[in-house]
Structure 1
Amino acid sequence: MDRLKYIEQKLLEWNNSIELSNKDLYSTNYEAIENLIMKELFSVYHSLLFWHFANINSALRNLHYWADPSRDFIHIIDEYENVCRALINTEYEFSITEYYSVVIEKCKLFLDSSGGSPIPEEFEKIVLKEYEAIFSLKNTVRVNDVMKAYELKMIGDGSYANVYKYKDEFYNKTFALKKAKVDLEDKEIIRFKEEFNEMNKLNSPYVLEVYKFNVDDLEYTMEYADITMDKYILSNNDKVKFSQRISFVRQVFKGLDYIHSQGLLHRDISTTNILLKIYHDVEVIKISDFGLVKRKNSNLTSLSTEFKGSLNDPKLAMYGNFKDYKIEHETFALTRLIYFIMTGRKKIKLKPNSTLNEFINKGISDKISERYSSIVEIREAFEQSIVGKWIP
């Protein structure tokens, strides 16, 4: 038996025999159902059941449900259960929420096809959830989509957005929320949205994951990381092992290499934009804050906030030519980040005979043509510099 044809036939019977004025009202509850036939079936059943539930609530004062609607409701329940049985073990198998399943069973106990139905005194008024889905396909997961307020704790702020964290009770998991500041200029709002869009396209364990953008409140939910590289190194500099520092640098290489492969330049590499997610057995870096990211042919550049807290080449700000930012500027900032990770110092101060002198000097050379021109090149130079163990 063609199950969809069977359902279509049942829908045709309902539409021809009963006035379903509220069907469309409930269809919005099932927007997530891709199959249009099942979506209509759920809307029809929702309408039919709630019509009778509402009338039974009205009849509670007299504890009597009239004869004609009683017979009609018995017929609806019979047809509903027949359809349920026909779809068992198929891709269209569905269920109703437990609350309404219990309500239907209680109604079946008192419904009578002749003379009306006496409603028991203990029968409680039925709660009508008009704007929630009460049916779901068996091959889907039911997620609590009711908007719920969670307490936000600020964990960071930037030039155009604040970052908060909150504990989601449904997932029992901590998430981060990046919320645009009020009174942003149109160009800043565009950049905020573009940051989310670009991050949402990326898929790497070394790039912070973003989940959902809220257009109304100008905010988006994202993966929560435990600490910034800045705070981690400064708080644990005496404890961080040499091998651990090397692991961090190599992870940064992998993350930036992936970002560059997607046609992007980060343009705001800093000790606070590299985050750490701490697991029981490993720490994983997460590259974040793509507010200044540049894709080819993009002209969105604002010089007023570009350099705050970053490791960028100061000459870019001095000469106001940030629009000319290229890979050699990215490796300049990356070199300074590597120096910080390996030494715990932000201000570069090289010592005589240090094994890192050549590596650092090339990366921050005043002559752009002498700098590293790719992640591959700077990674190879770094690996060479640690062969005999990096001496800071």
Structure 2
Amino acid sequence: MQWSKGRLIGKGTYGKVYLGLNVANGEVFAVKQVEVPESKDGHQDPRQKQVVDAMKSEIDTLRDLNHPNVVSYLGYEQTEKYLSIFLEYVPGGSIGECYRKLGRGLDKNLTRHFTKQIVDGLAYVHSKGILHRDLKADNILVDLDGICKIFDFGISKRENDNIYGANETATTMQGSVFWMAPEVLVTSEGYGGKVDIWSLGCVVLEMCTGERPWHPKSTLDTLLLVKTRQAPPLPEDLNIHPEGHDFLHQCFQIESSARPTAEDLKTHPYLQNTDWQFQKGVLPVS
């Protein structure tokens, strides 16, 4: 495919994300790109090689996923200088970008509308034996029709056996601190897909408040609080439907075994009977 690279539109865990254009048919897509490490005196930069290997792992993950609430994989290209992943372009930007532009939390109906889709997408990802490990509002894109797409599988991990059990192969401290579940910090015990359920609760909290979880705590303070098995504090005036309080309570169970699965959450009362209709124009355009 002959394509041209446009403006920078974002950054992933690994690599920068650009707008791309298929020269032959005018199709617009997103391009996640990293530089391929050059060999100097017969030696490669190990850090850059690690980034490229992570991108290749992300390609292997994305090519197995096909769901309306997961960003679509379109292919990849490797040249001497770059490794590029071609992805569906989602013009609305991320949920994080949306609430920062608004300068406040989202409407409680919109929060529930998005949460239902995120849960559907996450349940699908988990059904494929994949842990996302970096779920946050900045990694959930939303298009102009209000459809959410889980994005950035750069540090995801495949667990083909029991995704919700503590897995001894998943022991590294991966993810973003403010969205991190307690068991991730107890690396010797291992962890499973329930880390994504905790992070899901953090995303809902973000949408309600318009701020990251644990705001305004520092990274170090947050690490200490999570390590002592505490959950993010909920404001007394949290802008959420009544059933949403229990939804968050379930996501923030300290013991991972007590947290529901994503499939379980699909039937939670908070996500039922949502007859609210998304209206174009309620979100700022990216």
TM-score (norm 2): 0.70
Shift of 1:208: 0.8
Which of 339, 350, 364 is matched with 2:252 structurally?
Answer: 364
One of 218, 235, 244 as aligned partner of 2:110: 244
Distance across 1 between alignment mates of 2:111 and 2:17: 27
What letter corresponds to residue 29 of structure 2 in structure 1? F
Contact preservation (8 Å) 2:99, 2:210: yes
1:222 counterpart letter in structure 2 = L
Matched, 1:266 2:266: no
- Greater C-alpha Rg: 1
Counterpart secondary structure, 1:201: coil
Match status 1:380 vs 2:267: yes
Asked whether the equivalents of residues 246 and 342 of structure 1 are also in contact (C-alpha less than 8 Å), the reply is: no
Query: Is 1:320 aligned to 2:204, yes or no?
Result: no
Instruction: Evaluate the alpha carbon distance shift between residue 229 and residue 284 of structure 1 in structure 2; reply closer, same or farther with a 3 A threshold.
Output: same
Higher relative contact order (CA 8 A, sep 6+): 2
Match of 2:88 in 1: 223
The answer as to whether partners of 2:36 and 2:83 remain within 8 angstroms in 1 is: no
Note the residue ranges of structure 2 that are not aligned, 5 or more in a row: 38-46, 162-167, 214-231, 275-286
Residue 301 of structure 1: CA displacement? 6.6
In structure 2, C-alpha distance between the alignment counterparts of 1:224 and 1:300, rounded to whole Å: 33
1:328 offset after TM fit, Å? 1.9
Provide the C-alpha distance between the structure 1 equivalents of 2:64 and 2:90, rounded to a whole number of angstroms.
19
CA shift at 1:159, angstroms? 4.4
Name the CA shift for 1:167/1:300 in 2 (closer, same or farther; >3 Å).
farther
Decide whether aligned partners of structure 1 residues 360 and 151 sit closer, same or farther in structure 2, where only a CA change above 3 A counts: closer
Q: For residues 185 and 303 of structure 1, do their structure 2 counterparts lie closer, same or farther at Cα, with a shift above 3 Å needed? A: farther
Q: Is 1:307 the counterpart of 2:170 in the alignment? A: no
Instruction: Write out aligned runs for 1:66-215 (5 A).
Output: 147=2, 150-183=4-37, 184-215=47-78
Higher helix share: 1
Are the counterparts in 1 of residues 21 and 27 from structure 2 also a CA contact under 8 Å?
yes
* C-alpha RMSD of the superposition: 3.2
Partner SS for 2:59:
helix
CA 1:277–1:381: 2 relative to 1, 3 Å: same
| Contact preservation (8 Å) 2:12, 2:154 | no
Offset from partner CA, 1:259-300 (integer Å, 9 cap, x none): 11112121111111101121xxx2111111111221126998
Question: Structure 2: how far apart are the matches of 1:215 and 1:238?
Answer: 41
Amino acid at match of 1:263: G
Q: How many residues are paired up?
A: 235
Aligned residues of 2:131 and 2:193 also touching (Cα < 8 A): yes
Normalised to the residue count of structure 1, the TM-score between the two structures is: 0.52
- The alignment-based identity, stated in percent, is 22
Cα 1:170–1:382 change in 2 (3 A) is farther
Q: Superposed, which structure 2 residues align to 1:21-60 within 5 Å?
A: none
Structure 1 gaps of 5+ residues are: 1-144, 388-392
Identify if the C-alpha distance between structure 1 residues 380 and 353 changes in structure 2 by more than 3 Å, giving closer, same or farther.
farther
- Structure 2 distance, partners of 1:160, 1:239, is 28
Contact 1:269–1:310, Cα closer than 8 Å, also in 2: no
1:376 alignment partner AA: E
Assess if the C-alpha contact under 8 Å between 1:267 and 1:325 holds in 2.
Answer: no
What secondary structure is seen at the aligned counterpart in 1 of 2:265?
helix
1:170-217 alpha-carbon deviations (Å, 9 max, x no partner): 333321111124544444322211211211121111111121211223
